[in-house]
Structure 1
């Protein structure tokens, strides 16, 4: 992301990011919704059981019911533990998503409260009627009188327990826009520029990732830059591969099954160049990406013949097409002959390719002084620091996971997005989920007034 001050590109950035990650977000919400529904259902059952016990009624549960309740509680607890333990990073995505969709969630929640008002009003008025009946039944018998009074008190307490949270939540929904700072709400003339797009491992929905076909497809779709992952082979040849073994994206298990778990860097380039790196993509019955369009016969044939490319091949393509290149340079494992010299090998490979130095975005953080001395034209990249810190280190770009970004932190930067879905995002010319402050205020007032009228009418009808 260039450290060029612009207006606010945050919303445009998020809109394209969430289109790219929308499938994951959708299924995450589905799973979370199922867990929350199950948890709420169990909470309601427990609350109902406590209320029945409060009224002096025995639950009379069968042993099967007791076992099932304990089993469901255990399963819910286990899944919530998994979510909070292994989805720490993804909770950040959910929080960011809620911030973006806050206006729509707010308006939808008010509509939901209107629907919930019907059963709430019915239950509260039913309790009121029962309290009246019991009040009329009070006799002169002191013991019976005390019992009836206690029952009436419980009924009143139930009414308060149901009505008070309902109206408190409704009141919060009525006033929550005062504290809503969603990037979805802003004036059109303050909308930042459209971000540029880097092809993440090329165009992995159009060709096998980290192959020349994938990068060529990214260029065809108008990628601003190309992103890849670089390993160093045993004979010191930089090549493109993301994983720490070759099982997922090559046919290593067919060729050399006993070595399928071996680190890619422990193979020589001659062997690596013989592996097929495309059949897993073109002939797999499971699509690598959800909603991925079917390949044409020509693309399927081309994909099935892809090989692991050298880093040099990507640099030649970027030089020819004048595209920026950013890459993760993987540190070779221990006992690898190039472990202490992998930075020098990568720099030498780039210089040998004759690519213009300003097209290289240098991501590795180690040995920056050496890299600057050998290739002063490289654009160095850093983390999310202040403009002053970045300027002091002579860093012109930052590379940050979008989940780590925040509203005020991004306003000073011009956004570039690394995406798997470049063929779709590059065609978007305006942000989604957008509304002006005046329109949102109008919808807010209308929804508040209409919902208040409906809720009053519902309570009046039941009364």
Structure 2
């Protein structure tokens, strides 16, 4: 039993370990991925607490049961754990109704089969016919074991003792055995046994006694009380004792079990072995009974040791399993009554018998091996779960790296169209003269107005303009396409130099001459802080890559004219 329980726990540890490790990893992953807000929310809903509660609900009973099984042998007692010299003799075997797995019960064929298989004694059940003949029958009617339903269907439920022997002796008591197997594990009968079983009749008690006397076998039987209208209702015991004594069987071969009118039996047949039931030890001692016939289920719950200490011989019924017979053997039971005599007779040593030292060695070995298996199972699931988590993490990192790599490649492809040289806006302001006029020499740049000094035409010009190499053309009002700028266009105009300054130096070519047929966009009116109340000027921007600052030279050279409000 202990071995089976440990084996079951080892098998159950596989799903338990899988589930516990999975829950543990789930708790760790949830805790690792939680932000502070999630932790507050999870604390509110107690998600982690519920997961831990499930772990405890599964794991705690498992480990408690396992621990109990490990320490159970410390308080375990088995009669089969003893020294070899203390083992009692093999229990004797009474054939219950003969050998009911080999022949029809309570027939001469069944008793013969029991003797062939080494029966110590023969057990039977006795009824008295209406004409005072004791016969062998287990049931109180004839339906199950005879052909009464074919011969007299209306009387099939009548009590067996209400028929005369003349009628009972005509009934067949063996055909049912061939047609219906009474035991599921009985072996098939040979053709000779089948033919013999079909011809079996109801035997009388005298037939059994004669056979037992011949084979020197003990006889034990249950004597059933006749029904109320029976003529031997009160004297059936004396009638049976008379039949036994008339059979000339040795009195010590009779195990007298009936408690009714026991004093008469002791006086009439003092050689009978008086057998009691599960009486108290005081009653058994008072009636001078040294043997009891009890159900094994009741005996083991009602003080087997007390009866053994009182030196009372015990016969157990009905013991059909080898392990139960072995337990009775180890418990020093004297005899058993069985249906399976052909199997129990083959047992020469009790099952599960071992010495205390052997048991301790087996116990430690079994517990150690099972503990190693269970720990290995838990470790395997833990390792497998961690491996899966690592592989998932690696795959996620790989996906992230591939995404970053692809993003980097796309950025590199976009950046390949740009200059490797840092853009000019990093070194210089996009509004400087150098950025606007890259081909002008540095010495000439200083002659141009500053990036934020917007010049306007003064009211009165006292000084003459500086002479130029080329004659100045008369200032003629230029036809300028003046349109209202939308906010988007204005921002586009202002940000155009910044965008163009970031292009490659090759794009920063010399400022081409402004042609008359180039399209122009609407100008932006900019007021000088000092003269905004008097006049305004307009700035005509160049297309996309050109910027014009308002100065006298730029205005005169490009053909722009100031406009007054």
TM-score by length of 2: 0.60
- In 2, distance between residues paired with 1:384 and 1:262? 32
Q: CA deviation at 1:135?
A: 2.1
Q: CA deviation at 1:319?
A: 1.6
Kept after mapping to 1: 8 A contact 2:227/2:233:
yes
For the pair 1:302 / 2:222, whether they are aligned, the reply is: no
Q: CA deviation at 1:177?
A: 0.4
- In 2, distance between residues paired with 1:143 and 1:425? 69
Which residue in the other structure is 1:118 paired with? 14
Q: CA deviation at 1:398?
A: 0.8
Q: 1:133 aligns with which of 29, 36, 40?
A: 29
Which residue in the other structure is 1:438 paired with? 357
Q: CA deviation at 1:223?
A: 1.5
Which residue in the other structure is 2:168 paired with? 272
For the pair 1:364 / 2:258, whether they are aligned, the reply is: yes
Which residue in the other structure is 1:381 paired with? 275
Kept after mapping to 1: 8 A contact 2:146/2:171:
yes
Kept after mapping to 1: 8 A contact 2:23/2:51:
yes
Kept after mapping to 2: 8 A contact 1:230/1:330:
yes
- In 2, distance between residues paired with 1:265 and 1:198? 26
Q: CA deviation at 1:175?
A: 0.5
- In 2, distance between residues paired with 1:247 and 1:459? 61
Task: Calculate the aligned-residue CA RMSD, in Å.
Answer: 2.1
Q: CA deviation at 1:242?
A: 0.7
Kept after mapping to 2: 8 A contact 1:138/1:144:
no
Kept after mapping to 1: 8 A contact 2:42/2:48:
no
- In 2, distance between residues paired with 1:256 and 1:425? 39
- In 2, distance between residues paired with 1:241 and 1:194? 30
Partner SS, residue 175 of structure 1: helix
Residue-by-residue CA offset, 1:321-374 (whole Å, 9 max, x unaligned)? 221111111100111111111111111111111112111111110111111121
Partner SS, residue 398 of structure 1: strand
Kept after mapping to 2: 8 A contact 1:281/1:288:
yes
Moved over 6 A (4+): none
- In 2, distance between residues paired with 1:123 and 1:108? 23
Identify, as 1 or 2, the structure richer in helix: 1
Q: CA deviation at 1:409?
A: 4.6
- In 2, distance between residues paired with 1:195 and 1:452? 39
Return the structure number with greater relative CO, CA threshold 8 A, min gap 6.
1
In the TM superposition, 1:241-320 aligns within 5 A as 241-282=137-178, 284=179, 286-320=180-214
Q: CA deviation at 1:259?
A: 0.5
In the TM superposition, 1:91-240 aligns within 5 A as 105-141=1-37, 144-147=40-43, 150-240=46-136
- In 2, distance between residues paired with 1:454 and 1:423? 41
Q: CA deviation at 1:121?
A: 2.4
Shift in alpha-carbon separation, 1:115–1:359, aligned structure 2, 3 A? closer
Q: CA deviation at 1:225?
A: 1.1
Kept after mapping to 2: 8 A contact 1:138/1:148:
no
- In 2, distance between residues paired with 1:172 and 1:367? 53
Kept after mapping to 2: 8 A contact 1:135/1:148:
no
Unmatched tracts of structure 1, length 5 or more:
1-104
- In 2, distance between residues paired with 1:244 and 1:276? 16
In the TM superposition, 1:319-358 aligns within 5 A as 319-358=213-252
Kept after mapping to 2: 8 A contact 1:139/1:145:
no
Which residue in the other structure is 2:346 paired with? 427
Kept after mapping to 1: 8 A contact 2:281/2:307:
no
Q: How many residues align?
A: 357
Q: CA deviation at 1:140?
A: 4.1
Unmatched tracts of structure 2, length 5 or more:
314-332, 383-565
TM-score by length of 1: 0.73
- In 1, distance between residues paired with 2:229 and 2:279? 35
Which residue in the other structure is 2:483 paired with? none
Kept after mapping to 2: 8 A contact 1:229/1:329:
yes
